[in-house]
Structure 1
Amino acid sequence: MELQTVSKIEKKARKSAGIDLMRLGIALIFIAVVVIYTYAKTGSVPNSLFLVIATVFGAYMAMNIGANDVANNVGPAVGSRALSLAGAIVIAAIFEAAGALIAGADVTNTIRKGIIDLGAFHGDVNVFIWAMMSALLAAALWLNLATAFKAPVSTTHSIVGGVMGAGIAAAGFGIVHWATMGKIAASWVISPVLGGIIAAGFLYAIKKTVVFKEDMASAAKKWVPIYVSIMTWAFVTYLTMKGLKHVWVNITDVLSFLPHTKKPTFGVAAVFGLIAGIIVYFVMAVKLKKEAILNTREGINRYFTVPLIFSAALLSFAHGANDVANAVGPLAAISDAVLNGGIASKSAIPFWVMAIGALGISIGLALYGPRLIKTVGDEITKIDPIRGFCVALAAAITVIVASQLGLPVSSTHIAVGAIFGVGFLREWLHLIEQKEEEIVKEIDDAEKKLKAYELELEDLQQRTDKTKEDYKKIVELIEMIEDLEKTVKRFKKILKKEEKVKYVKRDLFNKIILAWVITVPVAAVLAAMIFFMIKGMML
């Protein structure tokens, strides 16, 4: 029997090793193709070797973004069983790539968020290239490590830490804009708290207006169209603001009646969202009026499934449009420095560089994304379509609110914070469930009986003229008191166990929070070390 068990373990290990080797092979093939293409395109340019190596780092970074960050967009849909893992990967890969290629940043600040002062390089192109290469590789290495430990972290914070560390190594602490770093540190708290509060708020509202009602079917017909239309408003507004800002000028050229601004304003985006929300409300209201809804939680859940699938696709599109710059922004800076021989605060991203980022994210998601998707969607807390709907809605609304208030936020922290918020709300609601109320009542009744028996026993024991019946009664009371004491003890143990039910896994919660806090400093230290290694080899 033991030999059979060992044999099964060995077979499983060989299969796992084979899959891992296949994944690594596909990743290496992608990097090899990137190297060949880059060398063929820029091989005749002086210092093209720097660009080839940087492109490898950029491809590696893009794959790590796909493996880690994209999980936040599709994890709730997978955890709620609205999408299968394979379906989520296909949808996310398509929409991430589409977002990057269609609405990706054609011009981006290569030094993310104004982290460092370019003047501190004093025009030394080589040092600048080394710093950007170090930042890119450090961020990618940290993301790879975080993914291995199943910790969803911010890719933006990773590249920010890399740029900061490499900049300090190259020109000292004075190169860093510390006020900007303070805002980034603030987002560690702001992002998850906002996301958690909004997600928990919507979940509680849905429970109070629909789930906790005796006639859930009638309540659903009234309220589900409202909630879905709110989500529609939020996502159309979010997508307009974040996903279309890089192609807004082209859109306004075609649709001349729109305001000719560099990017869509909140007012325009909100109007688009409102129009879409009203349309969806009436469509849903008519649809639900005609349908017979099951008066169960499962019956209600099915009406949140389709919106959740759409949210996964739209979040992926917006993520691809915005976060692809984390992989190709520094690469574009290096490309500009190599090809033009100067240091620019902004540089156009060639299409081939953007394509590397888009394909890298999709490949990284397909190869290594399932690990984090399962963590985000199923391991932090249990997600059903209603909870997943609240998480996705919170992600969109939090970004909109934060943008208007000028608050720095991380999409990763928002999404995971929203999942935490849903889980902690479940814990709070668990404390008032009927089961615990019944246990408390049983304890109270048992303690009252116990006190009455103890008083009766004390009274009998104090009598001087005890009869034979009194002694029998004393023995009976002692036995009943012992039984009741055991009963009370058992019920209290059950209650204690019930109170310890945690719908958010604490070890995973602590690990993720720790990973968030150390992302910037770890990426910075890694970047500084890599910079000194490159500098030592080149000088």
Structure 2
Amino acid sequence: MDVSFAHFMAQVVSSPPLALTTLLTLGVIFVNGWTDAPNAIATCVTTRCMPVKPAIIMSAVLNFAGVLVMTHFNASVAATISNMVDFGTDTQTALIALCAALFSIVVYSVAASVFGIPTSESHSLIAGLTGAAIAIQGGMDGVNASEWVKVIYGLVMSLLLGFAIGWLTCKLVTLLFAGADRRRSDGFFRYAQIAAAAAMSFMHGAQDGQKFIGVLFLGVALCNGQPGVEGVVIPVWLMLLCSLTMGVGTSVGGEPIIKSVGMDMVKLEKYQGFAADLASSLCLLVMTELGIPVSTTHTKTSAIMGVGAVRRLSAINFGVVRDMMLTWVFTFPGCGLISFAMAKLFMFLF
């Protein structure tokens, strides 16, 4: 299979479904960098370790690096997304269904925002691919259960592991620095939190960037007449394209999100912000190495809740937990059904 950039551009010009798939995928990556990436630096900004603009620039650069570096060395998350569904052997129809799946994510996200339903691009992507695969295969044969079950693991582990590592990290820091001078320890944790926020930004790129690389790579394969991407190496130009798009999206900003995650959920001090960022980075690293797609937002919020629980449970805003649960309840059936209907419509029209 020819995966050169020149061949890809020629296919984009000659194949409207691939052109639309590419446009939608890059658009979702851009929005992800814009809306999700600020979570990585939220605590760092709200504890006044860094000003907003330098933090956003740092996050943009490290999101770019995370997508590029981790995908080059371990593309297991991208492979999970690519192999999660089976669109069948008719690659032209499959490409149309993939296009419908991506379009459904946009439709669902807009509808959810109108009705105030919390969303996750990661979960919308998984639901959209699944709904389209069921539509094109006429049943559950379009779902690869051995890969899809990793989504279930991700839902549970992002919540439990993020909370547990956040609690343990904060508890350990509290014990180690119990007798330390407050002014000196604040100075230490200021720089430690900046380093942890940088790691979080890197791992956000590694997780979320790979998900959309997997989708776009599957579209390239389908356009080349290949029903799957197993055994094919992701080209460097594709990593660069997706990482650059996410980096640009991050650079746009996201100050309201920074306030929501860093201040509205639980008020954090510098050592707590460090513990939350370090815990969520470690959790994302483990999930990425295992090839399990997770929501970076939910991982970060779970880690923050774990940190808050060290002080007292009442320090946590449990409304955030409710929003996470609502995301799961609405996104999978909602976006999945829209994707199913869109795939049927697209296949009828085209």
TM-score by shorter chain over 0.5: yes
Matches within 5 A, 1:122-521: 123-142=89-108, 151=118, 153=120, 155-171=121-137, 172-211=139-178, 219-220=179-180, 295-296=181-182, 298-338=183-223, 340-346=224-230, 347-367=232-252, 369-399=254-284, 410-428=295-313, 502-521=314-333
Separation in 2 of the partners of 1:307 and 1:376? Answer: 19
CA contact (8 A) 1:66 1:369 kept: no
**Match of 1:42, as an amino acid?**
A
CA contact (8 A) 2:38 2:56 kept: no
How far did residue 299 of structure 1 move?
A: 4.2
Separation in 2 of the partners of 1:328 and 1:144? Answer: 23
Q: Match for 1:94 among 36, 61, 64?
A: 61
**Match of 2:56, as an amino acid?**
I
**Match of 1:190, as an amino acid?**
M
Matched, 1:522 2:319: no
CA contact (8 A) 2:34 2:252 kept: yes
CA deviations 1:389-414 (Å, max 9, x no partner) are 11122123334666789987554332
Larger RCO (alpha carbons 8 Å, 6+ apart): 2
- 2:84: which partner in 1? 115
How far did residue 370 of structure 1 move?
A: 2.6
- 1:535: which partner in 2? 347
Q: Match for 1:80 among 31, 35, 47?
A: 47
How far did residue 384 of structure 1 move?
A: 1.9
Separation in 1 of the partners of 2:170 and 2:235? Answer: 44
**Match of 2:148, as an amino acid?**
M
**Match of 1:62, as an amino acid?**
I
- Greater Cα offset, 377-386 or 319-328: 319-328
Separation in 2 of the partners of 1:329 and 1:378? Answer: 34
CA contact (8 A) 2:186 2:271 kept: yes
How far did residue 371 of structure 1 move?
A: 3.0
Separation in 2 of the partners of 1:130 and 1:111? Answer: 21
Q: Match for 2:18 among 46, 51, 75?
A: 51
Are the structure 2 counterparts of residues 381 and 151 from structure 1 closer, same or farther at C-alpha, using a change threshold of 3 Å?
A: farther
**Match of 1:525, as an amino acid?**
L
Separation in 1 of the partners of 2:226 and 2:103? Answer: 22
CA contact (8 A) 1:380 1:509 kept: no
Are the structure 2 counterparts of residues 399 and 510 from structure 1 closer, same or farther at C-alpha, using a change threshold of 3 Å?
A: same
**Match of 1:75, as an amino acid?**
A
**Match of 2:348, as an amino acid?**
G
Separation in 1 of the partners of 2:72 and 2:302? Answer: 27
- 1:275: which partner in 2? none
Are the structure 2 counterparts of residues 534 and 371 from structure 1 closer, same or farther at C-alpha, using a change threshold of 3 Å?
A: farther
| TM-score normalised by structure 1 residue count | 0.56
Separation in 2 of the partners of 1:318 and 1:409? Answer: 11
How far did residue 425 of structure 1 move?
A: 3.0
Identity of aligned residues (%): 25
**Match of 1:184, as an amino acid?**
V
Are the structure 2 counterparts of residues 363 and 399 from structure 1 closer, same or farther at C-alpha, using a change threshold of 3 Å?
A: closer
**Match of 1:373, as an amino acid?**
I
Count of aligned pairs between the two proteins: 341
How far did residue 417 of structure 1 move?
A: 0.4
Separation in 1 of the partners of 2:235 and 2:10? Answer: 12
Separation in 2 of the partners of 1:406 and 1:533? Answer: 32
For structure 2, which runs of at least 5 residues remain unmatched after alignment? none
For structure 1, which runs of at least 5 residues remain unmatched after alignment? 1-36, 212-218, 221-294, 429-501
**Match of 2:307, as an amino acid?**
V
SS of the residue 1:342 aligns to: coil
Are the structure 2 counterparts of residues 67 and 84 from structure 1 closer, same or farther at C-alpha, using a change threshold of 3 Å?
A: same
Kindly name which structure, 1 or 2, has the bigger radius of gyration based on alpha carbons: 1
The RMSD of aligned alpha carbons is: 3.3
Are the structure 2 counterparts of residues 349 and 66 from structure 1 closer, same or farther at C-alpha, using a change threshold of 3 Å?
A: same
SS of the residue 1:324 aligns to: helix
CA deviations 1:153-192 (Å, max 9, x no partner) are 3x44332222111101111222213354344224323221
Separation in 1 of the partners of 2:22 and 2:293? Answer: 29
Separation in 1 of the partners of 2:103 and 2:336? Answer: 11
How far did residue 142 of structure 1 move?
A: 4.7
CA deviations 1:123-177 (Å, max 9, x no partner) are 2112210222223333455556778859573x44332222111101111222213
**Match of 2:347, as an amino acid?**
K
**Match of 2:91, as an amino acid?**
V
